[in-house]
Amino acid sequence: MNARLLIPVCLAGLTAGVWAKDDASLEGVVQLPPPTVERALNQRYGANVDASLTPSNPPAAVIYLEGTLSANAKPKSGDVAQMAQKNMLFAPDLIAVHTGGAVEFPNLDDTYHNVFSYSKAKRFDLGRYRKDEKPGTVVFDKPGVVTVHCEIHDRMRGTILVLETPYFQKTDSAGHYRLDHLPAGHFTVKAWINEANVRERAIDLKSGARLQLDFPAK
């Protein structure tokens, strides 16, 4: 896999446990797969939604830094992420949170939803709730991939990537990303699209470096 580097990134004499100010940055483009075709809607409770007109979520990737992090590495803020139910889809259908982070699941449709997961990293079931009811909130305390479903609408599927690193960002719909305030050191940068499509590249980050790292298709 080729990666385009704008400046030299090797650090002579860098050893594990030596950390500099977190002022490096990384940006680039992930070549994303084309949008998938939605399956036919199968629902147990009626709703005024024409499945053939329901927009799908655009493809995206989560970029994150993996490696031994300094004890001073700060986790993401305590803000609660959201994965709503809208137009019979999870919106967005891919999010990332830091370990210990919480996700809220508001219902924006005029019908019931029942959000649940049987994933090893987090098993939960919020039960059925309507648009005007308080959405359930789940804390994700173990790293891993959590696949989310709706018990009522079988085509609905979402993914929550729970990461131990605080250095991550979701790309935009064109695949662009930028990570700022990164520490110096040797890391693996991963572009997570789905469990079968994870691209990675080893890099050395130097304090103050400004690098470009692109992820072409496999």
For 25-39, write each residue's pLDDT tens digit. Answer: 999 999 999 877 555
Domain count, the chain: 1
With bands split at pLDDT 50, 70 and 90, how would you rate the model's confidence at 75?
low
Beta bridge partners of 160: 95, 146
pLDDT tens-digit readout, 82-141: 999 999 999 999 999 999 999 999 999 999 999 999 999 999 999 999 998 988 899 999
Task: Answer whether residue 149 is part of any domain.
Answer: yes
Task: Answer whether residue 190 is part of any domain.
Answer: no
With bands split at pLDDT 50, 70 and 90, how would you rate the model's confidence at 71?
low
Cα 196 from Cα 176, distance rounded (Å): 21
Question: 192 or 40, which is more confident?
Answer: 192
With bands split at pLDDT 50, 70 and 90, how would you rate the model's confidence at 57?
confident
Task: Answer whether residue 12 is part of any domain.
Answer: no
CATH number at residue 110: 2.60.40.420
Give percent above pLDDT 70 in the chain. Answer: 76
Task: Answer whether residue 209 is part of any domain.
Answer: no
With bands split at pLDDT 50, 70 and 90, how would you rate the model's confidence at 48?
very low
With bands split at pLDDT 50, 70 and 90, how would you rate the model's confidence at 70?
low
Structural domain boundaries, residue 144: 33-172
Cα 216 from Cα 214, distance rounded (Å): 6
Say which DSSP state 208 is in.
T
pLDDT of residue 52: 46
CB 91 within 8 A of CB 54: no
Closest residue by Cα to residue 46 from 134, 152, 125, 155? 152
**Model confidence at 190: pLDDT above 90:** yes
pLDDT of residue 132: 86
Mean pLDDT of the chain: 83
With bands split at pLDDT 50, 70 and 90, how would you rate the model's confidence at 21?
low
Task: Answer whether residue 187 is part of any domain.
Answer: no
Beta bridge partners of 64: 168, 190
**Model confidence at 44: pLDDT above 60:** no
For residues 65-85, give the mean pLDDT.
77
Task: Answer whether residue 46 is part of any domain.
Answer: yes
pTM of the model: 0.81
pLDDT tens-digit readout, 2-11: 444 333 333 2
With bands split at pLDDT 50, 70 and 90, how would you rate the model's confidence at 218?
confident
Task: Answer whether residue 5 is part of any domain.
Answer: no
pLDDT of residue 1: 44
Cα 175 from Cα 62, distance rounded (Å): 10
Task: Answer whether residue 194 is part of any domain.
Answer: no
Neighbours of 104 (CB within 10 A): 14
